[in-house]
Structure formats: C-alpha cells, structure tokens
Amino acid sequence: MRDKNSPKAFSSPLIPAANVLISPNQMGRSPLTSIENTLKEEVVGQDQAITAIVQALVRAATGFRNKDKPIATLFFSGPSGVGKTEAARALTKAIHHNPKAWLKIDCSEFGEPHTVSRLIGSPPGYVGSDLPALLDKEEVEARKWNVVLFDEIEKAHHSLHNLLLQVMDEGTVTITRRRAQEEARVDFTSTIVILTSNVGSRAVSRLLEEQQIGFKNGGKEDMQQVDQQIFSAVRREMEKTFSPEFRNRISDFVVFQPLGEKNLFLVLEKILKQSYERFAEKGFAVNLTPKMKRFLVHEENNPEMGARPLLNRVERHIDGKIAELYALGEIKVGDYIVVDLDERGEVIFRRAERVSITVQTDFSTLGKGNKNPFEDPPLV
Ligand SMILES: Nc1ncnc2c1ncn2[C@@H]1O[C@H](COP(=O)(O)OP(=O)(O)O)[C@@H](O)[C@H]1O
Ligand SMILES: [Mg+2]
C-alpha cells in the first residue's frame, strides 16, 4: 500500500508537481486541454460526452475527492457502436500516451454466476482455486490514474455488480491469489473506473424513429430537444436496470449519442486510415471513390448498430478482397488501387496510374464531380 501522506500521493499525469493544487482555470491550459483534444481527435460526434469526461477529470485532479474511492467512476451509456469503448481507449491514450496501458474487463465473459469467481479467484479447496484471479493486483495498481474498464456491464451476472459496488464504495476488492493461496487487497483508489453499458439504446432508437430523424439530422433546436429526451430515456432505463445504491455510487454519467450520417462518414475515414496504413506497409496504396464510400455508409443502414457494421463492411469489401488480390499476385509493390462501384452496384478494383494520394477529409465535396479518371480495366 502506498503511503497516502507522502507527497507523491497527489502526483498524477495531470498535475506535474507533487502536492500542488491547480485551479480549474490553470487546468484549462494544462494537460487537460491536450486530453480533451486527443479525445476529440479519436472520438467523433461525441463532444457533449467528451466535455462531461473532462469535467469529471478536472474535479478529480483538483483534489476534491474522497481518497478512499477510485479517482472517478464514470458511467458511459448509449447505443451500441457509437464510441463508448473507443472513448475509454482514447482517454487511456491521452493520459498515458499508450492506448494499451489500461485494464479492460469484458463483462460479457462473466454472464454465468460461477464465472465471477474467476475474476477474484477461489479460496483453497474450491473449484478453480488452481487458477489465477483475472483481476490482477499488479495490473490494477500498475500506474497512477490507471484506466480500469468494465465493458458492457449489463451483460455480467449481478454478482459482478456487487463486486463493482465494492470497488466504487470501498475502493478495494479482496482477491485470492493462486500462487501463494493468500488473500490480497486490490487497491482501486488510484484508478479511473469506467463502466460502459448499452442500457437505454432500444429506447433511444425508438425515440429516433418516432421523431423520424433517424439518419437525417433535424434543426439545431429539434436536436437539442431530442438530446434531452435521449438523456431522460437512458436515465429511466438505468433506473430499471441498476439498483439505487449502484447508481448513487457513480460519480459521473456520460451519455453517448447515436451517430448521424456525417459522423458515420468521419468514422469511416478513421477506419479506412488504419487499412491504408496496413497496405502502405506492404508497399501499395488504396483509395476509395466517394461513390464507394457512400455505399459503405448506406448499405443496410441500421442506426441501432452505430458504426459497427461499417467495420464489417470495410473488412468484407476492402480488406478481405485486397488481401485476396495481393495473395494472388494481382497487386504488386508500387501499385495504386482504386475501389469503386460499377453501374450494376458491384464493387470493382482498378489498378490506376500512381497519383498523389490524399485522404479525403473534406466532405463538402462528397457526391459532387465524382468523375473516375481511371480508365484501366477492373482487376476483378
Ligand atoms: N464516435 C466514434 N468515433 C470514432 N470511432 C468510432 C466511434 N464510434 C464507433 N467507432 C468505431 O466503431 C468501433 C466500435 O465502437 P465502440 O467504441 O466499440 O462502440 P461502443 O459504443 O459499443 O463501445 C470502434 O472500434 C471504432 O472504430
Ligand atoms: Mg463497447
């Protein structure tokens, strides 16, 4: 256990000098600004949620908190595939400059009552006592301001909720370690606990259907009213799903909004950028025509799933096919491949003359002047 009286107890990646409390105004120009910027770069269309996250951090960093509890317990709610897990990852990256410096617990793996004991270990003589507790003391306490993510908590058995109550309430959990067959206290008081949940997402999509905004964004006032209704719908569903003692222990509720069409295009660019980088490593380049991008965003539009179907479509139509062509020797080092849709709506791949490649970020040109300068016959 660390000594709470030592000067280091206050030090955090957000506060450079030990024991120095900074006013929120100073914070505005401090690393918190860069955290906010990183979050906005990585997570699109969720500015309200990001503001709420940063506010929670400002409060925690200024030292007005109970030192026997986690630094903050943030509850991310909203529909599936709109950036909740992504925001937790981005926050980790922003604080620790490494998106993998977190502990992520996938709660869907703990749906059965007996699985929860895998997390905290079983006492000697019990089934599973030879297995290590998955909630590893060293991993939780690895760094100050460690992000510990309990992802999709509504999928866990309710005994995991009791464990979370302990985390939030006492800031510590007792586990049984296999090696020494001894008990250990896992200290959460230097962690940011993030819980994510899709609770209320059905109510939100019903609401969107009723409002008939769905994919099309309404006027600003309409949207504000809808935002408010979304917030209340999530709140109502939360009240049905989680007990008052559970809800009362959460320090900040962060509601993620459904992604509109414009934001889906932005998410698509982010997903494609990663694919482009992988192709560039193999020595060739790929670009998509605006028509192809529109196809990826609109094919089987299902706002309930957020951006997740986009990932699948990019995998199916782009990554998978390109890998196949590469394996067949159809794509070679130095090639520039353009992916387009033909008149019949079939996806086609053309080898084009190498031209300077830019990743399109200006969506005002989408759909305009979509001329295809590449006359070569399609590869497939
Ligand atoms: N708002 C967003 N900004 C950037 N990428 C997003 C966003 N929403 C979804 N994505 C993309 O979709 C994938 C799934 O999003 P995720 O954050 O896991 O959804 P969930 O809200 O269900 O946790 C992410 O890996 C990311 O590539
Ligand atoms: Mg998620």
At 116, which amino acid appears? V
| Structure-block tokens of residue 216 | 């099309």
Distance 147 CA to ligand 2 centre (A): 15
pLDDT at 23: 46
Alpha-carbon distance 48 to 25, whole Å? 20
The pLDDT averaged over each successive group of 10 residues in the chain (380 residues) is 41 43 47 88 95 90 83 92 96 93 94 86 70 86 94 91 92 80 88 92 75 54 71 84 90 89 94 96 95 90 81 95 94 94 92 58 44 46
| Structure-block tokens of residue 261 | 């069409």
Q: Please report which ligand is nearest the Cα atom of 91.
A: 1
**Which protein residues have a CB closer than 5 Å to ligand 2 (ion)?**
84-85
Distance 233 CA to ligand 1 centre (A): 21
pLDDT at 235: 82
pLDDT at 315: 96
Give the closest residue to 153 by CA, choosing from 280, 267, 241: 241
Does the beta carbon of 306 lie inside 6 Å of ligand 1? yes
Give the closest residue to 146 by CA, choosing from 101, 183, 79, 100: 101
Alpha-carbon distance 124 to 353, whole Å? 68
Distance 79 CA to ligand 2 centre (A): 9
At 336, which amino acid appears? Y
| Residue 100: burial class (beta carbons within 10 Å; 0-12, 13-18, 19+) | exposed
Q: CA angle, corner 221, sides to 218 and 222, nearest 5? A: 45
Distance 185 CA to ligand 1 centre (A): 34
Q: Please report which ligand is nearest the Cα atom of 50.
A: 1
pLDDT at 237: 86
Alpha-carbon distance 9 to 283, whole Å? 49
Does the beta carbon of 270 lie inside 6 Å of ligand 1? yes
Q: Please report which ligand is nearest the Cα atom of 82.
A: 1
Q: How far apart are the first and last CA of the chain?
A: 62
C-alpha dist (Å) from residue 302 to 79, 85, 191, 220, 319: 12, 19, 36, 23, 22
pTM for the model: 0.81
Alpha-carbon distance 72 to 91, whole Å? 13
